[in-house]
Chain A
């Protein structure tokens, strides 16, 4: 969903009209109206005027970064840069496009299209095969309920193998990591920029973070601190076509190292989890699954 915010109704409608009609576009006239829309639905792109009657566009960008951190944010405005105080908002990051440019609406349309296609305001790197990966994920993760206890058995085995208290199997979609199985720990969906697995996706093979508190990517991560995670290791869950859709993770509350043999074992567990997903998919495709 694209959210266009502008106190001027004419400008708001002109902005909406400039965007490709295939997008779902919502509009709002003020900061508080916009915040109401944000609380209902995740936003993928924000196009906002700077001067809103009850606040500024940068305040709104900050709100969007809280609710939907990956969203592309664009200030589309009559206010010049010299009049905008960005110092207090130095960490939010947004695009800037003045409305008075003769090609402003064309430029806006192209900026929005590029931002949605390449998702280049995320705070984490994307794998080269991101689009194919997410498409593959949708094919394998349509019916997680059908997996029953099979993955739970694997995560339980993993904790015993590694002599740790917690293990999980998570799939990483465009914006979130969702867990198919957790043992000894419990996670709801987690924003991608908050998870270690987001970075593991770009690694070849097994990823080991011996001490998360010593890694600049995770030292301030509140989710890890809350779950008391200091040690992390994961193996990629990769489709037969070669796209990594998730990870098989083990966690510990103390720093730890991993042996070569343990790396192999973790990979075997990840391959077994993938096999389960492949088999369920085949079952679905052949129509062999019945309601119990």
Chain B
């Protein structure tokens, strides 16, 4: 049986464990939606979501909206925003001091992944929403090191990494550099009110613009 990560409602073929992809496109064109939908896994999978610009409670709601089965024993939100006093977030919320604290995000990730593993959760999808915020708060070299380290870690544990970036306001060369750390890139655009994706660097995936549902 294949261990690949599956995407039931998206025009994407299965992705091999250990892969990280950069999902790039304007947020309002559907890049964030695609990234979140890619994190919706099967019942036995875990999810770790880094939120850089939305409160944990909002992020948990979004997760549910995009099909992620949020449960506190297997969904962790690494919260770089703080100020969330909602005690009823159904996920495990772990604080990070802010989006400039890349060391904190990376170490929290390692720690929560290890805890998942002790409860026999071996398949974990990791989402970073979004890399754009990290670029706004840190220099490219630091963000590069962080992304490289996280991609390496996801590869080592046979996870799936989804790094969402809105290139608006960022230099194309910065985005391309970050894409070079990932196994592949998925670009997202809006054409006449319909979201489309195309992939680069991933085998057996659509290379031409292909529509997907950004509002499931």
Contact = CB atoms under 8 A, between A and B. Distances in A.
Contacts of B142: 91, 93, 123
Contact of A216 (B97, B100, B151, B173): B173
A123 B110 contact: no
A180 interface: no
A92 interface: yes
Contacts, number: 105
A125 B152 contact: no
A122 B145 contact: yes
Which secondary structure characterizes the binding site on chain A? loop
B102 A123 contact: no
Interface string B177-207: 1001100000000000000000000000000
A129 to B, nearest CB: 14
**Contact size class for A?**
35 or more
Contacts of B144: 123-125
B155 A217 contact: no
B87 to A, nearest CB: 18
Interface in B129-162: 138-142, 144-146, 148-149, 151-153, 155-156
Contacts of A29: none
B181 A86 contact: no
B173 A215 contact: yes
B106 interface: yes
B101 A86 contact: yes
Given A86-B107, A90-B138, A220-B139, A118 B102 contact: no
Given A81-B111, A98-B111, A120-B149, A125 B101 contact: no
Nearest to B146: A93
Interface in B24-78: none
Contacts of B139: 91, 220
A85 B107 CA distance: 11
Given A118-B152, A199-B177, 18 more contacts: A58-B103, A75-B107, A81-B108, A86-B107, A95-B107, A96-B106, A98-B111, A110-B156, A111-B156, A114-B152, A120-B149, A120-B153, A121-B149, A123-B142, A202-B180, A216-B170, A217-B140, A217-B173
